[in-house]
Structure 1
Amino acid sequence: MPTPVVGLIAKALVSGALIVAIAEIGKRLPAVGALVASLPLVSVLGMILLWRARPDAENMAIHAEATFWYVLPSLPMFLAIPALLRAGVPFWLALGAGCLLTIALYLLMMNLGPRLGLRL
């Protein structure tokens, strides 16, 4: 059984390798890089690791459902950034604005979700 530190290092290496792979694919084939980045690989890996740590069906169901609801506020960022870039906004400013938009929408979801009966 690996020690907790070895497990954390392995998780970090897999996560880092995934990010590097997406960036390398995106350099050569931007649309394919976007496709790979859009796959819920991080969510699936997270669910696998969560299940291994706590194999509880109800906990996993809550986690998966909350993940769905939290993905929604992140989607407008992927429309705002290209719109800003095409309007001549510098990359870092467009990225920052997209991130701020996402944070604002996450806060809105965290506030409104439970009022609408969502388990977040």
Structure 2
Amino acid sequence: MAYYIIKVLISAILIVAISEISKRSSLVGSIFASIPLLSLMAFVWMHIDTKDVHKIADLSSGIFWLVIPSLSFFILFPVLLRKGMNFYLSLTLSTLVMVLFYFGMIYLLKRCGVNL
């Protein structure tokens, strides 16, 4: 149980730290946020928990393919905000578009014989 609490605390601390850094410098915050910290932490936690390098490799490959549709969020979200759209509406619409792109990417990958 203590191990899970430590995992949650470390993960939460990193998220809060990036948020606080971003308040001071959007460039530095962007750099830290663009580093795949969650993916790196997932790899470490999986290695500690299972030592199964094949599952870690599968996760890494899946992340690669699904980063592509996630970029739609980072294109659309700032555009909507700069056009004066409400923050929460921009966030919601950008997320919905991203989810649609995820489904599209998964469909395309399956058609190409790539199984995630």
- TM-score bracket for the superposition, by shorter chain length: over 0.9
Seq. identity, %: 38
Following superposition, the deviation at residue 61 of structure 1 comes to 1.6
Counterpart selection for 1:29 from 6, 18, 25: 25
Does the CA-based 8 Å contact 1:77-1:98 persist in structure 2?
Answer: yes
**Counterpart-to-counterpart distance in 1, 2:49 and 2:25:** 36
CA offsets, 1:43-79, max 9 Å, x none?
0110111112222232222111111011111111111
1:32-111 alignment to 2 at 5 Å? 32-111=28-107
**Counterpart-to-counterpart distance in 2, 1:108 and 1:50:** 28
Q: Could you tell me which residue of structure 2 aligns to residue 113 of structure 1?
A: 109
Does the CA-based 8 Å contact 1:80-1:98 persist in structure 2?
Answer: yes
**Counterpart-to-counterpart distance in 2, 1:51 and 1:119:** 22
**Counterpart-to-counterpart distance in 1, 2:42 and 2:115:** 18
Q: How many residues align?
A: 116
Q: Which runs of 5+ in 2 are unaligned?
A: none
Does the CA-based 8 Å contact 2:21-2:28 persist in structure 1?
Answer: yes
Specify the code of the residue in structure 1 equivalent to 2:40: V
Query: TM-score scaled by structure 1?
Result: 0.90
Structure 1 outlier segments of 4+, above 3 Å: none
**Counterpart-to-counterpart distance in 1, 2:108 and 2:47:** 28
Following superposition, the deviation at residue 108 of structure 1 comes to 1.6
**Higher mean C-alpha deviation, range 53-62 or range 83-92:** 53-62
**Please, what is the CA RMSD of the aligned residues?**
1.2
